[in-house]
Chains A and B, each alone.
Chain A
Amino acid sequence: MRERLVQLLIRWLFVVVPTAIIGYVTLTYINFSYTAQSSSIFNQALFFSSGLLIAYSLYFFRIRWVVTFILLWLAYWMVGKIIVKLPGEFDVFYATAKFQLYSALFFLGWIFGFLLVRVKYSYIILFGILAVATLVVVSSTIDISFSYILLHLVPVITYGLYMLFVSPMLVYDVEMDLKKSGRLLIRFSVFVLLVFLAFLLVGKIFTEDLKAVEKELVARGAKDEDGKEREKKDGGYDQRYGLMDKPDKDDGYKLKDTMKISSKMSQSDQLMFCSHINNFFPDGTPQPLYFVYHYLTKYDQAKESFIRDANVPYLDEFNADPSEVSIFHSKQDSSVIPNSLGRKLRKVVESEVYLSSNTWKHALLAPASAFYVQSIPVEKDFQKQFLSAYKVKSYASELNNAYFVYNPSANPMLESFQEERYNELRTVRDYHSVDTAFYNYYTKVPSGVIYDSITNLAKKITTGIVNPNDKVIAIRDFFLDRDKNGKRIFRYTLKPGSPSDPNIPNTSMLSDFLFKTHAGYCTYYAGASLFLLRSIGIPARFTTGFATINRSDKNKGWYWFYASQAHAWTQVYFPGYGWMDFDMTIGNEDQQGAPKPDGTPPLPPPQPWLVLNAMTNAAPDLTKKRLDITFDNMIYFDEKYQLKNPLSRVIDVSMCRVLYDKKDTTLSILSAGDSVIIVSYKDESKAIPRPKRGVAIESQVDDFPSPIVADEIHIKPKPKAEKQDNAKNDQQKTEEKSMTWKEILMLAAKIAGGVIGFIFILPILFLLYLVVKTAFAKNDTDKADRIYQSALYQFHMAGVERINETPLDYARTKVDPALHTAFQEFMTVYLRLKYGKGTLRDGDSEIIRRFASNFGPAIRKSKGFFKVGFNYFNILLASRYFLQSENNEYEN
């Protein structure tokens, strides 16, 4: 009995404790990822471990499991009953839920204990369960990286290796001989070290590849499906969103980066965003502006589509991704202002844009010549409707507005405005002063029959007109012309149909539209007018974005943008005034649909008094709800300050919302070194120090309350290495994606190949190890010993396997007859050294030496060099050597 107790103690030490530790580690991971009822990890681990320990001890003494399981179940049932019946001093539901959790953990520990005692190789099952749990936890984390996975898997893998290789031997040897277990422990540490080194090596070799994979995983997720879908859509031109597409499954819709003149288009009524444009006429009439998305300055003649160009002279497009601008922070590109090439009648217009959740959030949608963007919060009640918002400043021309084609004469005030605009623009008479490169770029017309006929048409329309502005108006009037019956020649339709005769080469949608069908949607009008203008020497460009419609005067300055408002139009350049919107698209006379409603504009968001751009010093204290941070720049009452020295402050996070990538999350994902933005709003309940003039900001910071009560914490997403490159078109992206998947496969194959290759060279490495070991023998006895080990291995690998024979029998009956070695002679000496009183006799050294130098050649001579060499790649043969002593186990 006492002996049995000692055995149990040893097993506690070497089997139960490591399992309890790994259970604790795994529970910690799980708790960080999923918030349990009570996150007292220690208590959870305690219940798990006690279950494990009790079960292990009970089953170690061979107590029947049926009985114990029934008893356990009874106990569980009883305790559950009692807890429910307890007087209502504490919340019964909470108690039972907690009880459920703990009892589940206890039971889990119990099963683990049972498995460990009773089931052979059960630790493989346990290892599997733990590894899967860890992987699930790890993969549910937002920020996934190779090193992160590795770090989390290391404890589980170490546990698996330990249980597999070390713990049975430890238990066995401690029972037999304490001294040897120490040596074994050292070997194990060396082994673990080697495993780590191997991991590091793999990491080092494949760093670049792995990073690519990581990026792929982070950026794309499971999107190949979506890619296929998208291709189908693009091919068929059948999608609901017409000019829009969806770059990402999880993302919203955006305007296409390519505009193709195609046979059909459909539209949807989905709300894309709403905006407040702070642009009014002096009398308070709202002056809406079109929202520009991109300028498509390049033309693909074969496909009849407009695409973006990377090299544009004087590009006045502000290329910003508002989703990457941190909250309350801003980004600006002042080069837009000079590049807009016009200073006359310009002003800065501010607008706020609230993006609905189905809008692509990475592109800046703003009135033309935007140069500044600031990320702003959305008021709480509107957060469901609008995911994010930003404020933009545009260097807008006073002559631009959205009334140019729509409502041309509805309002006398607007009509007079248009006249005013024409009068202004009529001052421009020619383009002599314009930069030649710029002029040539924007008046380029492709050669070909179609474009010649367009040029002729343009000349015909503008005969006798000198002034560029009047030429533009003449072209507009061309689209508004009526035939003899007073009916419009040009029509607006979403389904212009296919070219009249697809068999005739050079049929083009564009020429069909201009000369035959006279029916099309905005892309047709914009494309046609673009070439009409360019062919007569007027610089023009194709613009995509959203048409702004002023539907009601209820909320002045607020505009609502639906997917059907996605639009294309032309901008015409006037020296001194810059680019002017000219929307040639004629109104849709057939459309009878009721005007879409405007919604309720979102309330202005609360104003922050303090925004800190900070780094966390440590993980948050979840019990005290405190967070320790260091910051060196901040926004204090809308003023940005850069501090000379970083300061540390404690933040009260008890009332705080935590957002990651604009989505709600919990404090527990924060760890030390994260960059965060801490926002505190102006609020009556807080004592807010007012900024003092003339006082150094550092001393003002000292007056801040401590702790600072935070209302929101925005965790900055880790910068993605791959910036969304908008210039690339969809097709290229799909290609690129399939490439990367191929690369991932290649990488996986490489790693697998490496591992397999490594396994295949293991037998040779072991041989080398033995040979080297033999070479460094200290004395003859030592040498004999090492030769013995080496010879056994080499004979085995030569195909002469020792199966349960004693080495001497093996030498006599197998090795010497098969390989013509003098193994028996050597064995006689060796056995005397090994089991005898251990002194060398005369001639022994000679025998050892002779055998050492002869047995290698003898093997090669008997078996053939290549056959023996080939055997070293026979993993099965080699593994039999290493498993020899284990395969006779009979213990249960």
Chain B
Amino acid sequence: MKKGERKRRILKEIKTNKFLYLMFLPVLIWYIIFAYVPMGGITIAFQKYSVVKGILGSKWVGFKNFQTLFADPYFFRLLKNTLLINIYGIIFGFPLPIILAIAFNEVKNKHFKKITQTISYLPYFISVVVVASMLIQFLSTEGVVNGILQAMGKEPIFFLQEAKYFRFIYLASDIWQGVGFSAIIYLAALSGIPQEQYEAATVDGANKFQKMLYITIPCLIPTIVMMFIIRLGSVIAVGHEKIILLYNPLTYETADVFNSYVYRVGLQDMKYSYAQAVSLFQNVVGFIMVFTANKITRKLDGTTLW
């Protein structure tokens, strides 16, 4: 009886919302095939995967790939490079959009503000291949940067062939691309500050610098904290797309991160199982961190990220 009622309720739900199900169906199929089937492919990290035998036919090896990973002399290097790129990225890249937003906030000329804002967002929309190509051109031995060095009487530098320059090049171009765009969220927060607060401060004799210190920055703190926690959540991940365009065996020492290693060992050398173990390690740690970050921001803000 109860079973029948439940069945009837489900049928009724499907009948009333049949078009909603129909609309969502292609999306669901897409997610199953292109997101959840690949997720099942994670299991190859516990196998000695062979392309011929497939996932079902390959031999299970338990945690052997992970034991190899943790004993791999590269493991520490990958962890160090991934964390350092993120930590330096936070130290040098995180404050700049905030400073930029505050600076934009002081600009009273509308045309100047609009034009400069538009320019500042532009690099965000340029492709990673174009950015990497520009870097390679400018930094080559015949490039403009070495031209300037030579004009100053200095020896040319092989910027992309020396490991010690890689992080700087990677992060400087990251900041160049993203600083304007990242400022948007702070500008949105600034536009929410009631103008009366500034007016009241003016009446009290505060100057612009004091207003920035005592009104603008306190109003930005919640957004800053939120963005900072989100940023910390992704500290275990560095995307491979720009890395693999800029690195080479000479710079692996500082450039190689988990994702670029997965690409090289997995997709280039076809050691699928081992590379997948590396990838899974990073994804699990990353998942825990992003999940925690979201929990914290939810507590702070009362809303979720997603």
Say whether A associates with B: no
Interface residues in chain A, defined as those with a beta carbon under 8 Å from any beta carbon in chain B: none
